[in-house]
Structure 1
């Protein structure tokens, strides 16, 4: 079973990309606060996430960098070759549901 739910803050400015044929994608990072404090304060894990089509457009409309959201979906892994022909491994959250946890500004 591959089901994940996370609550955190959007790390980067929202930027949609049109990848052709009318397909829209949003790539960003979710900062998920850890349950403990260190000498440096509260720490977080940074989880890359991907949102497609209408959900991506809704996030662009209702969210900004730093907003608190709940994301549900599944973890996926993929690889690609970078400019130096090295294989890069990526693990990310593929979002299929979004919960807006603060009012629209």
Structure 2
């Protein structure tokens, strides 16, 4: 079974990319808080995620850097060739559902 549910903050501004044939995608990173360390400081895991189609459009329209969201989906791995002919491997979350929890507080 491949099911993932994460709650965290969006690391960078959402950028919608149109990739032809009425397809669009967003790639971003979710900062997921870890339990506090013994010294009281906090830490986070940074999980890459991707949204496609209508979900990508919703992310671009309603989400921004620092917003707290919940994502449901699955993990996927893929590989690609760089311009230098180097093989890169990526593990990322493929988002199937988005829940908006809290907008970033403007100071």
**What TM bracket, shorter-length normalisation?**
over 0.9
How many Å separate the matches in 1 of 2:104 and 2:32? 21
How many Å separate the matches in 1 of 2:67 and 2:26? 15
The alignment yields a C-alpha RMSD, in angstroms, of 1.8
Partner of 1:50: 50
Of the structure 1 ranges 23-32 and 34-43, higher mean CA displacement relative to structure 2 is found in 34-43
TM-score, length of structure 1 as denominator length: 0.93
Q: CA deviation at 1:82?
A: 1.1
Structure 1 regions of 5+ residues with no counterpart?
A: none
Q: CA deviation at 1:39?
A: 4.6
Q: Number of matched residues?
A: 105
> Once the two structures are superposed, what CA deviation does each residue of 1:67-93 show, in whole Å capped at 9, x if it has no partner?
000000000000001122111000000
Q: Which of the pair is proportionally richer in strand?
A: 1
- When residues 81 and 40 of structure 1 are mapped into structure 2, their CA distance, relative to the original with a 3 A threshold, is farther
Query: SS state of the match for residue 60, structure 1?
Result: helix
